[in-house]
Chain A
Amino acid sequence: MSLRLRWRKFLSNFMLTMTGVCAFVSVAILFLILGYLVYNGGTSINWAFFTQLPKPVGEVGGGMANAIVGSAKLLLAASLIGVPIGFLGGIYLAEFSGAKVASVVRYSADLMNGVPSIVIGIFAYSLAVKPFKQFSTLAGAFALGLMMIPITLRSTEEFLGAVPRMLREGAMALGASKWKTISTVIVPAAYRGILTAILLALARVAGETAPLLFTSLGNLYWSRGWSQPTASLPVMIYNYAQSPYEDWHRQAWAAGLVLLGLILIINILARTILSRGIAVPRS
């Protein structure tokens, strides 16, 4: 075998091994994190975690019921802010705007998606906290909702754009107006993809801490309303993990596990939606 050929074979095998190792490492890291979280969280979690309020420093036990409810409220309100804007904006981009406008909006959305979440937090602070001199659940939801806009917008646009042209023509040939075509054929044909993307966006912001630090702040008790600070799982994890108390560390692990479970449920929901209804076959 010539030297050249041997070198080629060696290089081929070497690169094959390298790519395999890297693929393994990336998966391994995920499972390491998951395993560690499940192990630590699983040993710390108990019924009280879901039902009780945090105990004062020094007392052992208690839970994060307020943070679980707080996170749920934040996500609900964030969706109400982010999803309609992103969804309708995506429809505009895919169906009505010219190529130029679309590329500007698309590019801006991608930029916005890349803005560090702490910057979003500061922005929301100066817009929704400072003027009212009050940290609030709504301000936190505003920050998270802002983060959901670009993801929802881009995925709506993408999934609408993927609906075959012949479906549009089919509807229009029956006398459907543009809006009728969109609302009765195009969106229903794309809704599974869009809904999945929205749920994934929700899963993403569910774990965001930075935007909540200056907006919804945190709360050791039940939040007294939308205009009041609220506890949330990510911020609780952030605070508890920094504390010097062993018991709080355990609580932070449990919170991490609950958050992970929440995201897992959202993911499963997304996949269930994907497998239901009538999909447009790829041609």
Chain B
Amino acid sequence: MQASPNQGISVNITPTAGTSAAKDHGAAVAMRMTISKLNFFYGTKQILFEISMGIADKRVTALIGPSGCGKSTLLRTLNRMHETVNTSRLHGEILLDQQNILAQDVTSLRRRVGMVFQRPNPFPKSIFENVAYGPRINGFKGPIAEVVEKSLRHAALWEEVKDHLHKSAYELSGGQQQRLCIARALAVEPEVLLLDEPCSALDPISTAKIEELLVDLKSITTIAIVTHNMQQAARVSDFTAFLLTGQMIEFSPTPQLFTTPGDPRTEAYITGRFG
């Protein structure tokens, strides 16, 4: 399958996002990834229905929606982590830089599209070795210590750990571990970074740190984040997609989605009437 001719696609690729505001905002933004008509199944159960959206380059895109709406599943298709479940299957198209990711080698795709998970999952190695892991397995031959430092700085963790890089990663607090996982993902210089509810296991202070970090990271990478926390989406993201029972209800610039939602269901959700 080759890239379809939707180059220069803008935000208004969803049926509900065709408002003028979306067009205005979207016109200037290039899409790093585009998803079109994605249907996803676990066994015979359909999880996602005809999802179309984009992940804007060097921006934060948030996926929100109530539990079980399919937002994590959608995120996991973007680096094909869904393939770890045998019964999963999807059809539709996901493009990264106009290339169909489903036709690519999965390991090189994941090197380009990194992921941070719900709960911090550092390896049972030292802080240093955790960050160095990605570059090492990808055959990095240069000065590894520099990569580690740079990644830890990007993840706003360097100052806290620089004096004990060779301690176990498990000696860090939960919030530090999560930032370590972000540093580990950044170390392979991914073009897109996926975060699956990265703050759901963290306290408010650690959460605030990570949110701040995400905004800073926009300068070096493209971010897609799943969150069940609407305030978080409002604070960190530039675009927000609202999913409900596997359907894309609305995909708009974040300020617009939260102030003048285009769909009554979006409004009902963000005003707390369900979910």
What 7 A-B pairs come out closest when comparing CB atoms?
A175-B111, A173-B115, A166-B121, A174-B134, A278-B124, A170-B121, A175-B110
Across the interface, do B117 and A166 meet the contact criterion of CB distance under 8 Å? yes
| In the complex, chain B residues whose CB is within 8 Å of the CB of A176 | 107, 137
A189 within 8 A of B: yes
Chain B, range 158-204, C-beta contacts under 8 Å to A? 168-170, 181, 184-185, 188
| In the complex, chain A residues whose CB is within 8 Å of the CB of B109 | 175
Which of A171, A175, A283 lies in contact with B123, CB distance below 8 A?
A171
- Total interface residues on A, CB under 8 Å, equals 24
Across the interface, do B137 and A174 meet the contact criterion of CB distance under 8 Å? yes
A46 to chain B minimum Cβ distance, whole angstroms, is 46
Residues 163-178 of chain A: 1 if any B CB is under 8 Å from the residue's CB, otherwise 0?
Answer: 0101111111111110
| In the complex, chain A residues whose CB is within 8 Å of the CB of B121 | 164, 166-167, 169-170
| In the complex, chain A residues whose CB is within 8 Å of the CB of B84 | 168-169, 172
B interface residues with partner A (beta carbon < 8 Å) = 79, 81, 84, 107-111, 114-115, 117, 119, 121-126, 133-134, 137-138, 168-170, 181, 184-185, 188
Which of A172, A177, A180 lies in contact with B81, CB distance below 8 A?
A172
Closest chain A residue to B167 by CB distance? A278
Which of B81, B123, B134 lies in contact with A189, CB distance below 8 A?
B123
Across the interface, do B184 and A174 meet the contact criterion of CB distance under 8 Å? yes
- Determine the distance from Cα of A169 to Cα of B122 in the docked complex, in whole angstroms: 11
Closest chain B residue to A188 by CB distance? B124
- Determine the distance from Cα of A100 to Cα of B133 in the docked complex, in whole angstroms: 34
Across the interface, do B134 and A175 meet the contact criterion of CB distance under 8 Å? yes
| In the complex, chain A residues whose CB is within 8 Å of the CB of B111 | 174-175
A181 to chain B minimum Cβ distance, whole angstroms, is 9
Chain A, range 139-176, C-beta contacts under 8 Å to B? 164, 166-176
Can you show 27 pairs from A to B with CB atoms below 8 A apart?
A: A164-B121, A167-B121, A167-B124, A169-B81, A169-B121, A170-B122, A170-B181, A172-B81, A173-B110, A173-B114, A173-B115, A173-B185, A174-B110, A174-B111, A174-B114, A174-B134, A174-B188, A175-B107, A175-B137, A175-B138, A175-B188, A184-B137, A189-B123, A189-B124, A278-B125, A279-B124, A283-B119
| In the complex, chain A residues whose CB is within 8 Å of the CB of B110 | 172-175
A185 within 8 A of B: yes
| In the complex, chain B residues whose CB is within 8 Å of the CB of A188 | 123-125
A281 within 8 A of B: yes
A93 to chain B minimum Cβ distance, whole angstroms, is 16
Closest chain A residue to B120 by CB distance? A166
Closest chain A residue to B79 by CB distance? A173
- Determine the distance from Cα of A73 to Cα of B101 in the docked complex, in whole angstroms: 55
A265 within 8 A of B: no
Chain A, range 226-283, C-beta contacts under 8 Å to B? 277-281, 283
Which of A166, A277, A280 lies in contact with B119, CB distance below 8 A?
A166
A185 to chain B minimum Cβ distance, whole angstroms, is 6
| In the complex, chain A residues whose CB is within 8 Å of the CB of B138 | 174-175
| In the complex, chain B residues whose CB is within 8 Å of the CB of A189 | 123-124
A233 to chain B minimum Cβ distance, whole angstroms, is 38
- Determine the distance from Cα of A69 to Cα of B6 in the docked complex, in whole angstroms: 75
B92 to chain A minimum Cβ distance, whole angstroms, is 21
Given A172-B110, A174-B184, is A184 in contact with B117 using a C-beta cutoff of 8 Å? no
- Determine the distance from Cα of A169 to Cα of B83 in the docked complex, in whole angstroms: 11
Across the interface, do A170 and B124 meet the contact criterion of CB distance under 8 Å? no
Closest chain B residue to A181 by CB distance? B137
- Determine the distance from Cα of A175 to Cα of B190 in the docked complex, in whole angstroms: 10
Give me 8 other A-B pairs in contact (C-beta within 8 A), A174-B134, A175-B107 excluded: A166-B117, A169-B84, A172-B84, A173-B185, A174-B184, A174-B188, A175-B109, A280-B124
Closest chain A residue to B119 by CB distance? A166
- Determine the distance from Cα of A164 to Cα of B120 in the docked complex, in whole angstroms: 12
